[in-house]
A and B are shown apart, each in its own frame.
Chain A
Amino acid sequence: MFLANLGYNGRVNIVIKIGVGLEVFLLKHVVSVSLGSSRRDHTVRVELLGEKFKISRMGTDGDFNRALEVLRELDGKVDAIGLGGIDVYLFVRRKRYTIRDGLKLMEAVKVTPVVDGSGLKNTLEREVVRILAEKTGLLKRGMRVLMVSSLDRFGMAEALSDMGCDMTFGDLIFTMGMTYPVRTVAELEEIAGRTLPELVKMPFHMLYPTGKKQESQDEAKVKQFAHYYHDAEVIAGDYHLIRRFMPDGMDRRIILTNTTTREDIDFLREKGVGTLVTTTPEFEGRSFGTNVIEAAMVAILGKLPEQITPADYLDLLDKLDFQPRVLNLENR
């Protein structure tokens, strides 16, 4: 078999297979470069709206310089890049805060469109909350919801609060060990306004577990803050944070997150979790981060990320018929 990869403006690879019948197709390549563990690396091939995609994840085990190298190597050679394990932009209502380390990574890429998932997150996760409330009944007004971190997914936080959930925003609890649950979006926004303009300049690893830290639990905080998990009916937010602080005895709890693998599902089942809801679609047994899906959407739309509006994302989500994945973990 002869396989040729012909680059076209560094954006489209044409693969010709000879020997198994002439097969010519356009393949779009999307890569997620993550500060997370390389143990979660994988590649899948999917078809979205008739276009074939190769989607890969490359973890750099928390090595920031390695991530910079990989991004520079990929620049101009793939169709879109997602940044994983780090945020670049935090949207808190109408304000946008830029994480300095995330921006350094983004600015290393000069040609290929690069996204961090925040644009899609702000749209998709609001939509997921609406779907779960209106179509599945999994979310109900008055439910006690713990968001382990909410400033990185303000859209979800606001949507859950707006539908009348009894919210506990755990950003201060789990980031710095402060036993101060924030209960309202208004207070969350006020604290963000005071502190985020400076905190986003701190080294990212001080704000969020990267690399090997993602593979272990923080036993001291698991023990100290278990009651916040046990008091909640729904635990929502970033999967790595949910996992890092999750205690045993999570009977019948609902987890609302994304970026889960089969191993993660086993972990949640061991903890007794009742239902797993992932906001992004499943490809070959795992749900991808929003950065990956946003990168694929950018490749489909063929626009620069800054030109894409929430309406573009909503329209595309509708065409792709993306639905949250609901997995019952109790009956398997």
Chain B
Amino acid sequence: MHPVNCDTASRLVGRERDLSGFDLFRFQKPGKKQVLATHLEITESLTVFKDNYNNNLRLKVMNRDWDRVVVIKATDIESLHTLTLWDGEVSLKEGASENPDLTVISDSETLADIFYGDIAPTEPYNNGTLRIMGSEDDIIRLDFISLMIWGE
């Protein structure tokens, strides 16, 4: 049901239950410290991000004329999402969109960590773990929005 990485060479490192009562398993590839987040976890992290954004009146005012389509793509599992900013509001859907203004690409765990607010995007961006395709102004603005939600 969920595109959990079931590579037989991977090691089970965690187990949790999703909202529907299904068991979710987290695997780690041998020789790598990386832990994989599930598609559902990424969806949930983006939902948390979206809700925090939409509950922040100042962010909505700041971005009322910043209409953008942002695709979020995981590199280690099948997971695509689209965040759409329109008239100051953010909406989320699963799957990709054509001609996005920004494409955010990283491993599943980093994506979930960023959108849950567990880590800031700056370090993974600087060390290449996180790639963002788009204009520099838009990249800085996405970073700024994240910091306004999760910053100190």
State the A residues within 8 Å of B (CB).
172, 175-180, 191, 193-195, 197-199, 201-203, 206-207
Contacts and interface: CB of A to CB of B under 8 A. Distances in A.
B143 A202 contact: yes
Interface residues of B, number: 23
Contact of B62 (A178, A193, A198, A201): A178
Contacts of A207: 140
Contact of A201 (B122, B136, B144, B148): B122
Interface class of chain B by DSSP: helix
Nearest to A206: B136
The residue in A179, A180, A197, A198 that gathers the most chain B C-beta atoms within 10 A of its C-beta is A198
Given A176-B137, A201-B126, A195 B61 contact: no
Given A180-B61, A201-B122, A201-B126, A195 B147 contact: yes
Contact of B151 (A179, A198, A203): A198
A194 B66 contact: no
Contact of B126 (A175, A193, A194, A202): A202
Given A180-B61, A194-B151, A195-B151, A206 B139 contact: yes
Given A177-B137, A207-B140, A194 B152 contact: yes
B144 A176 contact: yes
Interface string B14-58: 000000000000000000000000000000000000000000000
Contacts of B152: 193-194, 197
Contacts of A180: 61-62
A203 B143 CA distance: 13
B141 to A, nearest CB: 5
B136 to A, nearest CB: 5
